[in-house]
Amino acid sequence: MLGKSIASGAEMAATERRLWVAAATIVAFAVSACNGTTSPPSAPSSQDYLVIVRAISNQTGSAVSGLQVTVLDGPRAAQSVSTISDQAPLQLPAGRVTLRVTAAGYQSVDYPLTVSGAVVVEVKIDIVPLPTPPPPPTPPPPPTQGLVLSGTVRGSPENQSVAGAQVRITTGPNAGRTTTTDSAGMFTLNDLAAGTGTVQVSKTGYVNTQRDIELVTAVRTGDVFTINRMTFSVTGQVRDALGHNMLDIGSQGQLPRVVVASGPSAGVVATPLSTGYRFDALAWGTSTLHATEQNGSSLCFAPSDVTLNVSADDVANGRTSFVQDIVLQRQRGTIKGRVRTRDSNGEAHYPPGVTVAIVASLWGAPSNVGKSATTTGNDGYGLTIPGVTCDQVRLRLTVSGRPAFEQGPFNVNYFFHFPGCDADLCSELIIEY
């Protein structure tokens, strides 16, 4: 390494001349052999010294090639040397000077140096760091005032919008704020403060509902609040116009079937009772109750509908139990039958001229009594009595030459449709005597 102390006098002068020769040789070699460039130096004088600059990576500790060294100040300002090697030679006079050392991929370094003799200088330089991505923008702080809450109120079980419902905030920074739903069941509360709170929804005839919400955005929409209609119970008898229920008139042991045909609780089926029906929890409103015999057939009764009106004020004021009787109309139809006799050989005959009259109604239909007809004597249905109400009857048979006699009871319930029936409802009788 250069920079070692040298003897004075003639010996020093000889040594300096040798260093200048070495410097010139190194510069020439650096320029020609390394394909580097150098700016034309000033003519060396007896005060110039050889300065060799080396660069060391701060990160790896290894030598850095491809240096460029520029003199920034002093008598040799703007002099520079570029080389592809890891050493850059310069001729500098004694004194203080600043060198700028650069290399591709490294940050430039300004290195102050006091030249007092030939020297090799090691300069540590840093690798150019990868660009640091800019930090993500800081989101604006959430609003704390002027927030909006909007939503919809719907009723159950009908799932329809509820107009006129009160929407009130009961807790939190917006406690006490209130509004009412419009005709579409929608509501809006403006100028609210951010935070959490409880929203309560109420209306006459409905069970109050509440929900905790949090307001953090400028507008909160889409909340749906469901309130349930209050309910009531209803019981009643299912009977005919004369007060007879199904079991009273022997409707083949059937109980009535009552269902909500329309209204908020449409589709709900009542619990059948021995004399009627019971609903335990119907939603208030206008309901149509549809009553039939249990299996849906028309053995004796025609289906019947009744309208039941229970208001929101009724249930809100504690009227939650109602009685609604349903009157069914008995079916009316035609009796078609035969009067059949048998001879001593057991053969059947259908004589003409036999009068058959209804003499007793056992199920309370007095309009049937007195209706009669006379057989025509053919092998078909020779007996026809129209306009008979569903009933259980006793019949009196009268024929010339024989005493009158009674038979029965016969059920006239219009269930069987048989060949030759030309009415909507027919009942077949075969009477033997």
Note whether 416 and 390 are same-domain residues. yes
Our count of domains for the chain comes to: 4
Pair (117, 158) in one structural domain: no
Q: What CATH number has the domain bearing residue 377?
A: 2.60.40.1120
Q: What pLDDT, on the 0 to 100 scale, is given for residue 321?
A: 96
Q: What is the pLDDT of residue 293?
A: 76
| 274 and 199 assigned to the same domain | no
Query: Are residues 16 and 100 both part of a single domain?
Result: yes
- Whether 213 and 270 share a structural domain: no
pLDDT in tens, the chain (433 residues): 333 333 334 443 443 444 433 443 333 333 333 334 445 555 455 578 999 999 888 888 888 898 899 999 988 888 889 998 889 999 999 889 999 999 888 888 999 999 898 888 888 888 777 678 888 898 877 777 789 999 999 999 989 999 999 999 999 999 999 999 999 999 999 999 999 999 999 999 999 999 999 998 889 999 999 999 999 999 999 888 878 776 666 555 567 889 999 999 999 999 988 778 999 999 999 999 999 876 665 567 788 899 999 999 999 999 999 999 999 888 887 777 777 777 788 887 778 888 889 999 888 889 999 999 888 866 555 778 888 888 888 989 888 777 888 888 877 765 444 445 555 555 556 666 5
**Cβ 180 vs Cβ 216: under 8 Å:** no
Residues 225 and 236 in one domain: no
pTM of the model: 0.59
With tokens 């955005």, the residue in question is 217
Which domain covers residue 189, as residue numbers?
A: 147-229
Q: Is residue 314 part of a domain?
A: yes
Asked whether residue 374 is domain-assigned, the answer is yes
The CATH number of residue 167's host domain is 2.60.40.10
| pLDDT score recorded for residue 416 | 45
What's the pLDDT at 429?
64
Asked, for residue 89, whether it belongs to a domain, the answer is yes
pLDDT for 328 equals 85
